[in-house]
Every structure is written in C-alpha cells, then in structure tokens.
Amino acid sequence: QVQLVESGGGLVQAGGSLRLSCAASISSFRSRTMGWYRQPPGKQRELVASITSGGSTNYADSVKGRFTISRDTAKNRVYLQMNSLKPEDNAVYYCMPVEWAFRGYEYWGQGTQVTVSS
C-alpha cells in the first residue's frame, strides 16, 4: 500500500514563508530519493527539489536559494522550507519518489495548495 499525505500549504503574502510536510507511508522510503513537485494552474507538474537517502539535494533554478528540502528518515517525513515566496510559486505541491514519477506511477497524494498574494 502507498500513502503520500502533504500538508502545510496555505495563503501567504509575497516574501513570506511556508513549511510543507510529507508523510510518506511507503515500504522503501529509507532508500528512495524523494522529490517535491508542483503544478501551477494550467501548467504541467514540475520537479522543484529532491533529496537522496544520503541527504544530497538538488533544486530547480527557479527555487534555488529560497527553498530547502530535508528529510527525517526515522519518521518517514520529507519537508520543504519555502522562503521569499513569489506569486510564481502558486501551485499544488506534491511529494513523490523521483523514480516513481520518472516511471509514470500514478500514486500522487492530494497535494497541498500554496497561494502567494501580491
């Protein structure tokens, strides 16, 4: 069974911060590279940040320096600290193992909405 539950989104003013959380109830969490994806209104889903089992991170250029991904392996949790938010960050945010997304597995959770007002 697979369960990915995102939380922490909300309405924030431009320049503000939010911290997203992902509870990942998956069997191989400890060995998976986890990613945060987002889907802006009317656009395709994109990978914004990833973190390996060893803690190595990668970021999309659009969020580099503003977002920080982290994980708590013991708790099966992935976090995304978002600072200096911009209107272009408006999207539904999802967590997903990067390999699963690459393979096209449709195990997306409900996501969490981030709305940035100007």
Whole-angstrom CA distances from 96 to 18, 50, 67, 114 are: 19, 9, 17, 17
Chain position carrying tokens 């987002």? 38
| Sequence letter at residue 92 | V
Amino acid at 9: G
**Distance, CA of 65 to chain centre:** 15
Q: What is the pLDDT of residue 66?
A: 98
3-state secondary structure of 88: helix
pLDDT at 113: 98
Q: Residue 1 pLDDT > 80, yes or no?
A: no
**Given a cut of 90, is residue 2 above it in pLDDT?**
no
